[in-house]
Chains A and B, each alone.
Chain A
Amino acid sequence: MTTTILKPETDAQLVDAVRWALSADEPLELLGQGTRRGLGRPVRTAHALDLSGLSGVLAYEPEELVLTARAGTPMAEITALLGERAQHLAFEPPDGGTLGGLIACGLAGPRRIAAGSARDHTLGIAGVSGRGERYKGGGKVVKNVTGYDLPKLMAGSFGTLTAFTELTVKVLPAPEDTATLLLFGLDDAAAVGALDQALRSPYDVSGAAHLPDGLAARSGVAGVAKAGGPVTLVRLEGFGPSVAARVAALRADLRADAVLDAPESRAVWRELRDAAFLGGVFPASILASPTPDAEGWGGGNGPKLWKLSVPPASGPSVVAAIRGALGPAGAAVEAFYDWGGGLVWLLAPPESATAIRRAVGTQGHATLIRAPQEVRATVDVFQPLPDPLMALTRRVKSSFDPMGILNPGRLYPGV
């Protein structure tokens, strides 16, 4: 239903746009390149605020481990720039979109277990609140405890608190080498046990995933696809001699069946990051569409992609509980594990939300990732919060955006 897109080219124009929206009582949908538009509850406003005009890297100092860029800077540009100095964003975010969109959605990949999430790497922010006021928070150095840590609150806030103008992120050396140990034929519980053993080792594991029977065969990496059954993956990264030594030691400890070299390893962890085995988090067909709609997101009756964060040791039992609760339909559930079992990607039939949320209970949270707009408008996309926490969440929203001008309803009704 969006009819008009406002595209400020300066911070001052952004302030004007938000102030106008306040005065006209016209809420705004915030956009970068629109690549993450299908995440969260649909925002239905007559006006959108396109922040991709606020673009460009402002400062990059590899030795200080910081980069400051305007919010609409394409991630492709930032990734390329960091690559020139053998650095990267260590939390392994998905490709594409803008820096602002990435931080707003708080996305992180398999290395989350070792390096933290987007929130752990967001050092400073500047932007315009829903009050139409410019402000900043955090700083531009890697170690800072001055005032409240607003950058953390902004990471994963889905544009509901502030329209970013500028972000400072921590950047780190990219690993020189990488390899992945493969274990074949383990069931879910045995696999998570093996991952636990790997994560308890002193070998600095940076990826710990398990592809159950049937999913591994979908990999584009031959060493994984041809295993002919379930494949458990343990990644080691770092300096060449260190990776070689750790691969040798951990291979023996885990009695691993095979080792992927660096190119194969990189390819399979990209697939794991993007949940490619279950159709992908951001499928190209959807990203190509300017306004992702019901069809683009798999159709109203197709299975829906969920992302569950649970205590690692509970991953397999949560999946089993969901299957059990769904009865005969449970057989159609497909799932794989990352973060040592703590992250479950789950493709489930429609009407599974209650079973999923019940299985997760209070020991974690479940997010509906890929579903058509009409589904995301009616099913809770993010984990429903207990009343006191929901009330606090509303007060926090209101402290930045009292009139509900910025991305209203993207996280929860009214938030």
Chain B
Amino acid sequence: MKMPVPDSGVIARRRAIVDALRAIVPGEGVIVDEAELRAYECDGLTAYRQLPLVAVLPETVDQVSRILKTCQEMGVKVVPRGAGTSLSGGALPLADGVLLGLGKFKRILDIDYANRCVVVQPGVTNLGISNAVAGEGFYYAPDPSSQIACTIGGNIAENSGGVHCLKYGLTTNNVLGVELVLMDGTIVRLGGKHLDAGGYDLMGVVTGSEGLLGVVTEVTVRILKKPATARAVLIGFPSSEQGGDCVAAIIAAGIIPGGMEMMDRPAIHAAEAFVHAGYPLDVEALLIVELDGPAAEVDHLIGRVAAIAADKGAVCTRVSTSEEERLAFWAGRKAAFPAVGRISPDYYCMDGTIPRKALPLVLTRMTELSARYGLRVANVFHAGDGNLHPLILYDANQPGELERAESFGNDILRLCVEVGGVLTGEHGVGVEKRDLMTDQFDAADLEQQQRLKCAFDPDGLLNPGKVFPTLHRCAELGRLHVHKGELRFPDIPRF
């Protein structure tokens, strides 16, 4: 993984850049001390580390605007950062770039129950929003597993999902409005407390843009009433094919569960050994199906799901009879990552999406790859939407194992694309999957995406080196060879 070569000219101007930032953000808001900068050297993808040129922690939108404008004028790159929980290196600093931390934007600005929305600053945590409205029985639906720490600003950058997103949507389906500062310092507002923006759906593009299009300084999200009831069914299958068939049959029956998670044998065993959730150990696939909603609906659907499971060859089916039992079913799944961490010095979490019907093929091929690379793999799977999280087990202290784990991971993601899926379902491309983008997209696809980037950031200063494997100058991308009047009228049907 190569980052763009740092611009030694910019690094040489560090003092001038720091002075310019200090003129905008006084005192401790500009960080230059190496020991303090260490806190920002990586995000959740810890294999990659880089000290930023300087870090700045603004407190107002005006400061953000002036920082970006100044950096654009000085030709300095900027990497925005929320809580730094990205699993794809989206907030990896640049040696010649300013790290722009939004950690001081922590205020909840407006809780508006009458319009069923909340307005917050981007540094508010995902769970912080739900907690703020829990008293009235509301919550914010997307629930990435890092929700205690991750911020809503980062959620917008990554279009974060979670266990419940098949039914309740990703971040993009739950955001109503954003205030966005462009690289030239311009402040624009997209959406608001109403539905749909006037004009192009720029909010839709900004959500999931991984900090490449602008810096979000305010967010309006919709909040939902908490489901009245939730019950879960734990189902074991002798093969992953049967587990996959069961998922397909549940959806074909018109049921969209609140959550539908699958684990393979290694993941089941690791989780059970860790939290003793009472999982069956003699099955190849374990499914947790959670139904939520009005009690009458949940009771009705639990029965239907159990019947479908029996029909598809389930060898064990347990329906939660209490909230305690429901949480116990989930305990193993929620602890799956640390559980795998117990049985291996290190693990590498992947994130691809596949058409669910390809699951047996993908698992078979993954087993072959596991043997070839000599590394174990455990699978947890958002089964409802086909989002696969293979955990590759390795030991970073063994020379070459990290590189082998990465190669193995890349092969898994290429496999996801090969069967009709995509490189990332919820973690983002970042630096991690950047060089695989050409496996999913043609040159023309990527160039068109980069032209859109040029509309927001013509000098390519915002978070460069992420998402796109090759950087192009906007002038070069925008060039259009028009054969003025040289093409004959096309030979196609006309009326």
A residues at B contact (CB < 8 Å): 4-9, 13, 16-17, 19-20, 22-25, 50, 53, 61-66, 85-86, 106, 112-113, 116-117, 119-120, 129, 131, 133-137, 139-150, 152-153, 155-157, 161, 172-174, 176, 196, 199-204, 238-239, 241-242, 244-246, 249, 309-314, 339, 342-343, 362-365, 367, 382-383, 385-386, 388-389, 392-393, 395-396, 398-400, 402-403, 411-412
**What are some 22 contacts across the A-B interface (CB < 8 A)?**
A6-B494, A7-B493, A116-B173, A131-B480, A135-B445, A141-B354, A141-B422, A142-B166, A144-B425, A147-B441, A148-B209, A150-B449, A200-B116, A242-B297, A245-B295, A339-B195, A363-B194, A389-B189, A389-B190, A389-B199, A395-B455, A399-B448
A135 B207 Cβ-Cβ under 8 A:
no
Find residues 448-462 in chain B having any chain A CB closer than 8 Å to their own CB.
448-449, 451-456
Chain B residues with Cβ under 8 A from A363's Cβ?
192-194
Report Cα–Cα, A388/B495, bound state, in Å: 41
Interface of chain B: mostly helix, strand, loop or mixed: loop
Most chain B CB atoms below 10 A, which of A141, A199, A402: A141
Q: Are A145 and B201 in contact (CB under 8 A)?
A: no
For residue A385, give the distance in angstroms from its CB to the closest CB of chain B. Answer: 6
Contact between chains at A385 and B355 (CB < 8 Å): no
CB-CB contacts below 8 Å: B158-209 with A? 158-159, 161, 165-166, 169-170, 172-173, 182, 186-190, 192-202, 204-205, 207-209
Whether B294 contacts A129 by the Cβ 8 Å rule is no
Kindly list the 10 A-B residue pairs having the minimum CB-CB distance in the complex, ordered from nearest: A152-B204, A245-B296, A242-B297, A383-B198, A173-B254, A365-B198, A395-B455, A63-B248, A311-B193, A364-B194
Which residue of chain B lies nearest to A199 when distances are taken between CB atoms in the complex? Answer: B116
Would you call B12 an interface residue if the criterion is a C-beta within 8 Å of the partner chain's C-beta atoms? no
Q: Given A117-B195, A393-B200, A399-B454, does the pair A139, B480 have CB atoms closer than 8 Å? A: no
B135 close to chain A: CB less than 8 A: no
Q: Which of B207, B425, B446, B495 has a CB less than 8 Å from the CB of A4?
A: B495
Complex interface residues of chain B between 420 and 470 (CB less than 8 A to chain A): 420-429, 433, 437, 440-442, 444-449, 451-456, 467
Q: Which residues of A contact B301 (CB under 8 A)?
A: 239
B455 close to A396 (CB less than 8 A): yes
* SS of A interface (majority): mixed
The answer to whether A20 and B354 have CB atoms under 8 Å apart is no
A135–B493 touching, CB < 8 Å: no
Contacts A62-B252, A152-B172, A199-B116 known; 17 new A-B pairs at CB < 8 A:
A16-B490, A19-B490, A63-B248, A106-B201, A136-B445, A142-B385, A143-B426, A144-B422, A149-B207, A202-B226, A239-B254, A309-B195, A342-B194, A365-B198, A399-B478, A400-B451, A411-B199
CB-CB under 8 A for A137 and B495, given A147-B441, A152-B204, A156-B196: no
A9 to B446, CA, bound (A): 26
B186 touches A388 (CB 8 A): yes
Cβ contact of B158, chosen from A6, A144, A145, A398, cutoff 8 A: A145
- Measured CB to CB, the nearest residue on chain B to A26 is B489
Shortest Cβ gap from B454 to chain A (Å): 6
Residue among A112, A141, A173, A365 making CB contact with B421, cutoff 8 Å:
A141
Residue on A nearest B425 in the bound complex, by CB: A143
Shortest CB-to-CB span from B182 to chain A, Å, is: 7
- Residues A242 and B195 in contact, CB atoms below 8 Å apart: no
Cβ contacts under 8 Å, B353 to chain A:
139, 141-144
Bound state CA distance, A157 and B199, in angstroms?
A: 7
Contact at A392–B300, with CB atoms within 8 Å? no
Are B252 and A63 in contact, CB atoms less than 8 angstroms apart? yes
Complex contacts, A129 vs chain B, CB 8 Å = 448
CB-CB nearest in chain A for B490: A16
Contact of A5 with B294 in the complex, beta carbons under 8 Å: no
Q: Is B5 an interface residue (CB 8 A)?
A: no
Q: Please report the C-alpha to C-alpha distance between residue A14 and residue B134 in the assembled complex, in whole angstroms.
A: 53
The chain B residue sitting closest to A248, CB to CB, is: B296
Q: Which residues of B contact A8 (CB under 8 A)?
A: 490, 492-493
Query: Do A135 and B201 form a contact, CB below 8 Å, given A120-B169, A146-B423?
Result: no
Query: Is B75 an interface position by the 8 A CB rule?
Result: no
Report the Cα distance A393→B190, complex, angstroms: 12
Q: Is B204 a contact partner of A119 (Cβ separation < 8 A)?
A: yes
Rounded to whole Å, the gap between the CB of A100 and the closest CB of chain B is 16
Chain A neighbourhood of B485, CB < 8 A: 23-25
Contact B355 A140 (CB under 8 A): yes
Complex: how many Å from CA A58 to CA B444? Answer: 22
Q: Do A117 and B196 have beta carbons less than 8 Å apart?
A: yes
Provide the residues of chain A in CB contact with B18, threshold 8 Å.
none
Give A8 to B159 CA distance when docked, in angstroms: 37
Q: How large is the interface on B (under 10, 10 to 19, 20 to 34, 35 or more residues)?
A: 35 or more
Beta-carbon contact of B385 and A141 below 8 Å: yes
A119 touches B201 (CB 8 A): yes
Beta-carbon contact of B445 and A241 below 8 Å: no
A119–B428 Cα distance when bound, in Å, is 20
A120 touches B182 (CB 8 A): no
CB pair A157 B200 closer than 8 Å: yes
B493 in complex: contacting residue of A53, A63, A142, A173, CB < 8 Å: A53
Chain B nearest CB: distance from A356 CB in Å?
A: 13
Contacts of A314 in B (CB 8 A): 115
Q: List, in ascending order, chain A residues with CB within 8 A of B166's CB.
A: 142-143
Of B166, B188, B301, B484, which is in contact with the most chain A CB atoms at under 10 Å from its CB? B188
Q: Does B345 contact A (CB under 8 A)?
A: no
- Which B residue's beta carbon lies closest to that of A152? B204
Q: Is the CB of A196 within 8 A of B114?
A: yes
| A149 and B442 contact, CB distance less than 8 A | no
Q: How far, in whole Å, are A174 and B256 apart by their CA atoms in the complex? A: 11
Residues of A close to B447: CB separation below 8 A:
135
Is B6's beta carbon under 8 Å from chain A? Answer: no
Docked CA distance A363–B187 (Å): 17
Chain A residues with CB under 8 A of B249? 63
Tell me the B223-241 residues at the A interface (CB within 8 Å).
Answer: 225-228
Give Cα A145–Cα B467 distance, bound, in whole angstroms.
11
Which residue from chain A places its CB closest to the CB of B190 in the assembled complex? A389
Q: Would you call A135 and B198 a contact (CB within 8 A)?
A: no
A8–B489 Cα distance when bound, in Å, is 13
A85 to B248, CA, bound (A): 13
Q: Is the CB of B205 within 8 A of A382?
A: no
Q: CB-nearest residue of chain B relative to A366?
A: B198
Interface membership of B491, Cβ < 8 A? yes
- The chain B residue sitting closest to A14, CB to CB, is B492
Chain B residues with CB below 8 A from A204, complex form: 293-294
Q: Provide the B146-164 mask, 1 if CB < 8 A to any CB of A, else 0.
A: 0000000000001101000
Tell me the minimal C-beta distance from B88 to chain A in angstroms: 9
